[in-house]
Structure 1
Amino acid sequence: MTTIADRLANAQHRIEQAAQISSRNANEIQLLAVSKTKPNSDILAAYTAGQRRFGENYVQEGESKVNALKDCCPEIEWHFIGPLQSNKTKIIASHFHWMHTVSREKIASRLNEQRPKEMPPLNICIQINISGEASKSGATPEELESLASKIEQMPNLILRGLMAIPTATSDKQLQTDEFQQLQTLYQELKSLYPRVDTLSMGMSNDLEQAIAQGSTMVRIGSAIFGERDKP
């Protein structure tokens, strides 16, 4: 029977292979294990196997996991990667290390105001709606520079980079084109803010393409934990 540790090792091997093909250093690419809807026991199994970065999509579920695992898994780095309503920003500000889906100044401002003073600044990725789909969240490419400038002025946030979800399609060229667009925006952002170092793109089904286009963080769920359960 294939274990979570086995699947985690396989995911890391895929990252290493993709990096080699693209003449990149695999150490530049972080694996974010997407544990949404999965039980704490699965996270503990991955943690025991050496995984430290975990991504959650749902606010209450994420809060519950952070609280439940903080004593037994003290080195966990929690990333929030789902949509966030403004009335729930305090939970993210006070429990998570990273927030990947900031696309509006209002959300950023609330996160900044509600970040506890005893915690380090919250790491922020701006989500870009790279596919232009109305059903997806994210700032437009045209809004990026203004939003980044505002986040840079917020002392309790630290701008780390960009995040996007490409079109769900079997058209590999379309996905590659979207990854390339995000890479271009990332380089432009990095030229303005040299501290920026994170390009969060690529998931279980397209991580190889994402790495070929410069991803520094791939978000892998089903390839590690199996198909998603209902929340």
Structure 2
Amino acid sequence: MSLQDISDRISKAERNAGRKSGEVKLIAVSKVQPDGRVKAVLDQGHRCFGENRVQEAEAKWPDFKQHFDGIELHLIGPLQSNKARTAMALFDVIHTLDRPKLAATLARIAQEQGSCPEMFIQVNTGEEEQKAGVLPADADQFIQDALALDLPVKGLMCIPPAHEEAALHFALLAKIASRNGLAGLSMGMSSDFEKAIALGATHVRVGSAIFGDRVPG
């Protein structure tokens, strides 16, 4: 696979779903990828990237931002409250707002700074104990509470259970978003992003299919 292959598949999925071309944003998940691979994708003109860890992003992206204009950085991994200020300075979009304490911290810093990244609320659609996210039954109230804090909540995010049909979880996320008036749906990864696009995804998160297998270290 390559960036062009994934972009072509996204375009085809948009057409198949009767959606406008370019409606879906591709987040190239660059976590644990060597700088050389990331630069190769930047050199191809792609500018939207996703990172899981604030510390890793902090070490990687300031230098890239000096050399490439227009980079849009998305935090797609868990955010600890004590990393909130750093994350808000570094990321353009945070996809993992998932608990009241974090919402309050982000809102306080946003008031201090007068600016705030766009937010997606993570919903634990599979109700998995080991996974972050608001439970579906609690999502409506949490969305309203976050909006009441003046946080710029644009949509919802989910990571379906590995061994369940992803489309069921995408449909559930879309339903929760719709009834709360949220347009953004961050859902779909390398193995299932076409299904996500068919069910309304606005952001898909693809890593290894673009960069190759991850290189831990």
Q: State the number of aligned residues.
A: 217
Distance 1:113 1:40 in 2: 34
Question: Kindly tell me: are residues 166 and 118 of structure 1, through their superposed partners in 2, closer, same or farther at Cα, counting changes over 3 Å?
Answer: same
**Residue 92 of structure 2 corresponds to residue 101 of structure 1:** no
Secondary structure of the corresponding residue to residue 33 of structure 2: coil
The one-letter amino acid paired with 1:71 is Q
Give runs of ≥4 in structure 1 deviating > 3 Å: 115-120
Q: CA deviation at 1:74?
A: 2.7
Distance 1:25 1:215 in 2: 12
1:164-219 deviation per Cα after TM superposition (whole angstroms, max 9, x unaligned): 001112x5xx22111111111111121xxxxx331000000001111111111100
Contact 2:88/2:116, CA 8 A, preserved across alignment: no
* Structure 1 residue ranges without an equivalent (≥5): 1-5, 191-195
Contact 1:93/1:116, CA 8 A, preserved across alignment: no
Contact 1:44/1:73, CA 8 A, preserved across alignment: no
What residue number does 1:179 align with? Answer: 170
Contact 1:38/1:228, CA 8 A, preserved across alignment: yes
Contact 2:125/2:169, CA 8 A, preserved across alignment: yes
The one-letter amino acid paired with 1:199 is L
The one-letter amino acid paired with 2:213 is E
Q: CA deviation at 1:40?
A: 2.5
TM-score using structure 1 length:
0.88
Q: Which moved more, 1:32-41 or 1:109-118?
A: 109-118
TM-score using structure 2 length:
0.93
Q: CA deviation at 1:116?
A: 8.1
Distance 1:122 1:205 in 2: 28
* Structure 2 residue ranges without an equivalent (≥5): none
* RMSD of aligned residue pairs (Cα, Å): 1.7
Write the mapping of 1:3-42 to structure 2, written as runs, cut at 5 A. Answer: 7-42=2-37
Secondary structure of the corresponding residue to residue 204 of structure 2: strand
What residue number does 2:179 align with? Answer: 188
Q: Which moved more, 1:146-155 or 1:159-168?
A: 146-155
**Residue 178 of structure 2 corresponds to residue 198 of structure 1:** no
* Among 76, 83, 87, the residue aligned to 2:71: 76
Identity of paired residues, percent?
A: 37
**Residue 204 of structure 2 corresponds to residue 218 of structure 1:** yes
The one-letter amino acid paired with 2:27 is L
Contact 1:93/1:112, CA 8 A, preserved across alignment: no
**Residue 147 of structure 2 corresponds to residue 152 of structure 1:** yes
Write the mapping of 1:43-192 to structure 2, written as runs, cut at 5 A. Answer: 43-115=38-110, 120-155=115-150, 157-169=151-163, 174-190=165-181
